[in-house]
Structure 1
């Protein structure tokens, strides 16, 4: 049975009228700034003429990677230029970029506190001989410019405290549980208490243990102690899953994915991606992997389309300045968000396939129920083909810096053909607003491709328990089908006409295989000869399975209609896709 998901505007407004969950602001704000800044910033990724001793080249790890002693590392504080350091400039940059919150590394793995902590003497103010408190200054600037303040705090790893965790304990022998608890009680608990007591409202504590606590030295009782203290001191403060607990735990308010890891499916809970503009988190003078502005836009929008947020990092130098490449990209993002922010802020995703469209993504505004089409690839034939919106729109508008421009469209069941202007409104991502009296989604029908035609593949089929192999750089997404497997699809044909059929597959059985395609009860058959491999690169002995198109005839459609499609083979094969296209 065709599954239709109905999302009425009435339900949306009822939901909005209910008591908001604590983490609602993160779901609404969607875009924030991460700041990695500390003693490591003064090394600039280079120690005594040598780059960081690890392929990932993360500058904030240089003390550990390059085996720098505590005293010598502390001398780096002399490189900080306090005449130029101005944390308010970071806040203003975040504001200009359209970011709504800031997470700053109050203490990273090196164990150095950015504020004048009363716990020990290993803090940036004491090592620098300054009375400046960067945390206080950024807190005041955030309040002044209406930016939420959040703290990163490394609770698990600490290379400064004699009983803190260091990965090298796998070689030298680990500290005892009692010793680690001494570090916990002497440093973690009192420092987090200082952060939550002395700097006003803190929106989030962002921890950084990327494995479950059971795989670490930390005990559940210690995490409970820390989380309970946060709840007591700042009841509205969020805690991320890198505390070391799963999203289902009562102490966890949202899930943090891996570094630069982006979503793959829609979820109904709040999550975020911590990402870098370049590669390193801390400033690295050898950095040459800057992401393009377009890539950053797509990362943000892709996350929002799956109900996720995006926290984008900057790594200022020891004088507080931010690399030009980073400033340029953030200013470009802010300019775009000034015009198109209504399609990002307070937007959720839609419960449809992440790879639904080849032209871009869709988001849903929680305030008015409008759907936004984020077009990465403006259609050459000036027809934007949208699949999955089953109800008829009231109107569709193209957003431009000059205002909204209404455009014409045709509705064919769950498929829209939107007639867009010749020139794309924005060089990065153009946006259309679709307004509905009531929104209904079709989450099952195969999406129409940019130039027309339908790819029935391993990601948009309706069958379960099939062996899926993802694209590995040379072989496409495919199923490893057995002769008993029956993958199925639903396709809506929007126009009458003759449609050709071709199946892409690899037959490695060494013999001819019979395949059948059943379209609305009618069978189309073909015999597929065995095929071998294809050379990827010459003179490297690099060969992979060859996937070839097999023509399977054509069929007639007299009027727009929905079709059920099933594939069968007489022997095991590697199945890529079926392609249906109007002649």
Structure 2
């Protein structure tokens, strides 16, 4: 706990995103480039002179109902004569990105790498005749970027029918091919940081089998949640989804410059450049402030060149990151609740206020800050701002010239470690009982699935509340509501923890737990004790909680 000169106390405010390996190393990558490149890039969302306006353009074979014999002819036009791995990696680095993930095989089954499983690949069937993954992986290593691969579990070339939801099951007859292609990918392209599975409806057994292949050859690779059946190391959210609240656990937002497609689309409108840069920066900042990684996609053309508009967007984002070297990528989430005016990140004794929704009166307020402040400045220019702090409320006035900027980031320099009072802190009542209503609960969320994309649901994996305390002794807890009788729950008060079955959780008092005067803010967390996967729903509905001082 931290005590300031007003006698106020709090809890550490910065959230350090720590996880077991390989997730820990993956989370430190934070921002990466996604590349969708394949035969669909040549068609560009057009078939027989008609714009195909349904669906993503990388799935044009399905949306235009193109017969395989016709679609495979595209390979003879897939020249990639301007493909430049060195330039792509240089762009990623200059844009502030730390890794690249490229499509090794999309739903059309065309492989962008040399494989013994089929000649339907970029080396054997195109004028280019080179292994795109090899070129990119080698260049990533030279430039200090991490390398990852996308792999579709849907494969129209190998027998899957078109399914608009891409929820095809995987027949056992397809398993050997998937296993061999995964093995090739894991063995031939150096260290892999991320394996990005996509779509289909594998069984639990199949998800585990594919995961074991990755673990065998690439133990340092983090596996995304679209391997399904909750076997991934981190959760990939829906396409272009930035969560409304901070999430617990490891997760990623996959974002595209245009929400309507990931693969190259020749007729895509490319306008409102400044707005596009701002929207993507806002998504990146929100993902970082809420604890996630951000993977931003580009869709090169069939000649291998990047679309100029996309390249310039990435460069503009990179320039903003360079102007704010700590605030966007290096800083961590905080325990502050969501603010109407924007997002908050922190790094040591520096807070960064990202003003993405500036108020009309030019005044912003941040409530709950305990630590003393040295100064408040505009992050890029170090221009000093007018501010005041009364009790726990920091008030800052935004000059008019700042509001004319696309990106406003304010640095709050603290004179001591960063501590705060959580917004839902509950005070003790006259009867020596803290009464916590459902509204005072803090919920930790993530997402779980039941085996495919359309089954992805938001799950509650933690319930927390905070007690304002000026006493010492023992407390006991009484929970009112509903729980899953056969689940094992953990109730943690400060550093003490008790586990019990759900059938006992609501039947009697839990405790005792020891508290002392130095614990003036007591955090209490309820979670599942040993969930079989990190994002399992708790199935605990709390109506109220009473904490009694003995």
Same-fold status (TM-score > 0.5): yes
SS state at 2:32 partner: strand
Using the alignment, how far apart are the partners of 2:121 and 2:19 within structure 1? 41
- Among residues 3, 6, 16, which one is paired with 2:11 in the alignment? 6
Aligned partner of 1:280 among 261, 275, 278: 261
- In structure 2, list runs of 5 or more residues that go unmatched: 1-7, 426-437, 443-550
Contact 1:142 1:149 (C-alpha < 8 Å) held by counterparts: yes
Match of 2:158 in 1: 161
Preserved contact between residue 27 and residue 346 of structure 1 (Cα < 8 Å): no
1:52 maps to: 52
| Aligned counterpart, 1:137 | 135
- Does the Cα contact within 8 Å between 2:106 and 2:152 map onto a contact in 1? yes
Deviation at 1:415, TM superposition (A): 1.4
Separation in 2, partners of 1:244, 1:289: 34
1:568 aligns with none
Equivalent residue for 2:187?
197
Structure number, greater radius of gyration: 1
CA distance in 1, matches of 2:325, 2:33: 16
* Native 8 Å contact 2:95 2:318 kept in 1: yes
Q: Identify which of 198, 204, 219 aligns with 1:220.
A: 204
After TM superposition, give the deviation of residue 463 of structure 1 in Å.
5.8
- Consecutive unaligned residues of structure 1, counting only runs of 5 or more, are 211-215, 447-460, 466-583
Task: Note the C-alpha offset of 1:379.
Answer: 5.7
C-alpha spacing 1:28/1:426, structure 2 compared with 1 (3 Å): farther
Q: How far has the Cα of 1:158 moved from its partner?
A: 0.5
Q: Number of paired residues?
A: 419
Alpha carbons of structure 1 residues 415 and 152: separation in structure 2 relative to 1, 3 Å? same
Cα 1:40–1:5 shift into 2, 3 Å: farther
Match status 1:442 vs 2:421: yes
Q: Is residue 363 from structure 1 mapped to residue 363 from structure 2 by the alignment?
A: no
> Cα–Cα, structure 1 residues 376 and 237, in superposed 2: closer, same or farther, change >3 Å?
same
Secondary structure in 2 aligned to 1:432?
strand
Offset from partner CA, 1:209-233 (integer Å, 9 cap, x none): 27xxxxx3x2211111111111111
Secondary structure of residue in 2 paired with 1:221: helix
- Residue aligning to 2:244: 264
C-alpha separation between the residues in 2 aligned to 1:150 and 1:64? Answer: 26
Decide whether the 8 Å contact of 1:93 with 1:327 is kept in 2.
yes
> Is residue 90 from structure 1 mapped to residue 68 from structure 2 by the alignment?
no
Shift, 1:377, TM fit:
4.5
State the 1:389 CA deviation.
2.1
Matches within 5 A, 1:100-179: 100-155=98-153, 157-162=154-159, 164=160, 166-167=162-163
The residue that corresponds to 1:303 in the other structure is 287
The residue number in structure 1 matching 2:75 is: 77
Contact 2:26–2:193 (CA under 8 A) maintained in structure 1: no
- Kindly indicate whether the alpha-carbon contact (under 8 Å) linking 2:424 and 2:440 is maintained by their aligned counterparts in 1: no
| Deviation for aligned residue 1:166 | 4.1
Mean CA deviation greater in 84-93 or 115-124: 84-93
In structure 1, distance between residues paired with 2:13 and 2:276:
38
Q: Distance in 1 between matches of 2:163 and 2:403?
A: 51
Question: Deviations along 1:114-153, whole A, 9 cap, x unmatched?
Answer: 0111111111221114431111111111111111110000
CA gap of 1:417–1:445, structure 2 versus 1, over 3 A, is: farther
Q: CA deviation at 1:195?
A: 0.9
Comparing 233-242 with 380-389, greater Cα deviation is found at 380-389
Q: Does the 8 Å CA contact 2:79/2:128 hold for their aligned counterparts? A: no
The whole-number CA distance in structure 1 between the counterparts of 2:93 and 2:329 is 14
Q: Which residue of 2 aligns with 1:27?
A: 27
- Kept in 2, the 8 Å contact 1:277–1:326? The answer is yes
Question: Aligned pair in 2 of structure 1 residues 416, 168: CA closer, same or farther (>3 Å)?
Answer: closer
Q: Which residue of 1 aligns with 2:216?
A: 232
Alpha-carbon distance in structure 1 between the residues aligned to 2:146 and 2:166: 38
1:288–1:372 Cα change, 3 Å: same
TM-score, with structure 2 as normaliser: 0.70
Aligned CA-pair RMSD: 3.0
For residues 294 and 169 of structure 1, do their structure 2 counterparts lie closer, same or farther at Cα, with a shift above 3 Å needed? Answer: closer
Quote the residue 1:254 is aligned against. 234
Give the 3-state SS of the residue equivalent to 2:264 in structure 1. coil
Q: Which runs of at least 4 in structure 1 moved beyond 6 Å after TM superposition?
A: 168-171
Does the residue aligned with 1:267 lie in a helix, a strand or coil?
Answer: coil
What's the counterpart of residue 320 of structure 1? 304
Distance in structure 2 (CA, Å) of the matches to 1:421 and 1:169: 49
- Checking the alignment, whether the CA contact within 8 Å between 1:263 and 1:308 is kept in structure 2 is no
Q: Which of 372, 381, 391 is matched with 2:352 structurally?
A: 372
Which residue of the other structure, out of 207, 213, 226, is the alignment partner of 1:242?
226
Distance 1:406 1:21, change over 3 A: farther
1:266·1:350 contact (CA, 8 Å) conserved in 2? no
Alpha carbons 2:255, 2:294 under 8 Å: kept: yes
Shift of 1:413: 2.3
State the shift of 1:422 in Å: 4.3
State the shift of 1:255 in Å.
0.7
Contact 2:31 2:98 in 1 (8 A): yes
Report the Cα distance in structure 2 between the residues aligned to 1:19 and 1:109, rounded to whole angstroms. Answer: 32
Shift of residue 110 of structure 1?
0.4
1:383 touches 1:417 (CA, 8 Å); kept in 2?
A: yes
SS at match of 2:238: coil
Cα-to-partner distance string for 1:7-54 (whole Å, 9 max, x where unaligned): 078xx8xx79x8864222333332111110000000010010122262
Counterpart CA distance in 2 for 1:169 and 1:364 is 40
What is the CA–CA distance in structure 2 between the aligned matches of 1:143 and 1:283, rounded to whole Å?
Answer: 26
